[in-house]
Amino acid sequence: MHMADALLSSAVAGGMYACSLVAAGYALRKVQQERNDKILPVMGVMGAFVFAVQMLNFTIPGTGSSGHLCGGMLLAAVVGPYAAFLTMIGVLLIQCLLFADGGLLALGANIWNMAFYGCFVGGGVIWALAMRSGMTRTKIIIASVLGSVLSLQLGAFSVSVETLLSGITQLPFAAFLLFMQPIHLAIGLVEGAITAAVLVFLFAARPSLLWCAEESESARSVSLKNVLTIMGAAAVVLAGGLSLLASELPDGLEWSLERMTGSTELESADSSVYALSEAVQSVTALLPDYNFAGSESAAGTSFAGVVGAVIVMLLILAGGKVLKSFRGNHEQA
């Protein structure tokens, strides 16, 4: 669901940057207030895992389309909505800059569409409500599916509204919705199933790792170190190996555009703002389209996947260390 710059006017793009920055500022303040330093390595490893899983596009049978996890719901169920939102920003930022996945001008919109709803609606509302009276496997499965489906429906609707408000394409709003909503319903169901599988595993391995777990559910079965090692290893295998099996069909947004225009991509407006965005990404995108520049090799995909997962983890860990240092200096002052 990564939007390209061509779908957005500079005004709408700026507005979505503002919305995402406000949400990020609020999330940052809440994370600082929680003072849970132990959550940082979990954010780093799970961020790398979500990056890896996002590389695994799965085919939606009978449609000619594919989809991939957004991951906000999954992250929120582990680290809570605020830390999850900051982690998702790290994932989307690396995807945008290093791999040119989604436009730089559209980054604010992509953060809102792909991270905000999953973290704050799927996780902050659906998950929190479902786990109020205790956590069970059945509740985890139901909350995962409902949260994922609702989050993707809201995200797909936002893409259509942002495109409408931008007014720089010839895409009819109603027709765009008729393609976007059903295909992302199917994608949401698959994301819900995968999210449920991961969370059920974590619940069995270490219940206390999940957000909203009660004291009675905090018995340790597997050490935190071992669980994070397993998830980190899974991220490497997924990004560096199984990503080679990912579907090459267009994702839900690209599929919708293709059905309406005959192409999965639209040309950006002839403006200095769009030219600057493209110029910046041409410099920062060292591994465009998750491969070596100008290559479609399997080795390039594997390399890009592993490097991306590692960089996401390091970015999150470094950001957490900086914030911790800033908090310490502020308290001393």
| Predicted confidence (pLDDT) per residue in 211-240, tens digit | 998 755 555 689 999 999 999 999 999 999
Pairing of strands 65-67, 58-60: antiparallel
pLDDT confidence of residue 45: 98
Q: Is 60 helix (H, G, I), strand (E, B) or coil?
A: strand
Q: What is 5-332's CATH number?
A: 1.10.1760.20
263-288, pLDDT tens digit by residue? 998 988 778 999 999 999 999 999 99
| SS3 of residue 3 by DSSP | coil
What does each C-alpha distance from 22 to 27, 106, 111, 121, 200 come to in angstroms?
Answer: 9, 16, 12, 16, 33
pLDDT at 326 over 80: no
Taking the complete model, does pTM exceed 0.85, yes or no? yes
What is the structure's pLDDT at 219? 54
Phi, psi of 58 (to 5 degrees): -110, 145
pLDDT score of 177: 97
